Amino acid sequence: MSDPVLKEISEKLDKLIKLQAMTAVKDQPSERDKIALLHSLDFRNIEIARMLGKDPHNVDVVISDFKKAPKTRKKSSTLSEPKTIIADSVPTIEKSAETSAKQEAERE
């Protein structure tokens, strides 16, 4: 392939990636969340600024704040659901074991 063809393919891929990224952030409630998500997807600060129509310095400050902030942010509900499921199933297993032990004792 020739160099102009590769450049054209690369430009089209870049556009597709940016469109996909914009779809990913459209449901984010705030600009800070959008910036955080795009940053976590390894977009550069200047790319994030262009996509969101923000000043690059603003994006730099927001990302800097995220890096400085303590890691005590609220976890999303999808991350905590498995813990809930596991925690809810443990008593069920214990009750099943107790019930089995009682049934065996009654049989004897």
Tell me, what's the pLDDT at 104? 66
Contact 43/21 with Cβ under 8 angstroms? yes
Angle between helices 31-40 and 45-52 (to 10 degrees): 140
Q: What is the pTM of this model?
A: 0.56
pLDDT digits (tens, 9 = 90+) for 47-71: 999 989 999 999 999 999 988 877 6
Q: What angle do CA 15, 7, 25 make, to 5 degrees?
A: 15
The answer on pLDDT for 93 being more than 70 is: no
The answer on pLDDT for 95 being more than 70 is: no
What is the arithmetic mean of pLDDT over 11-33? 90
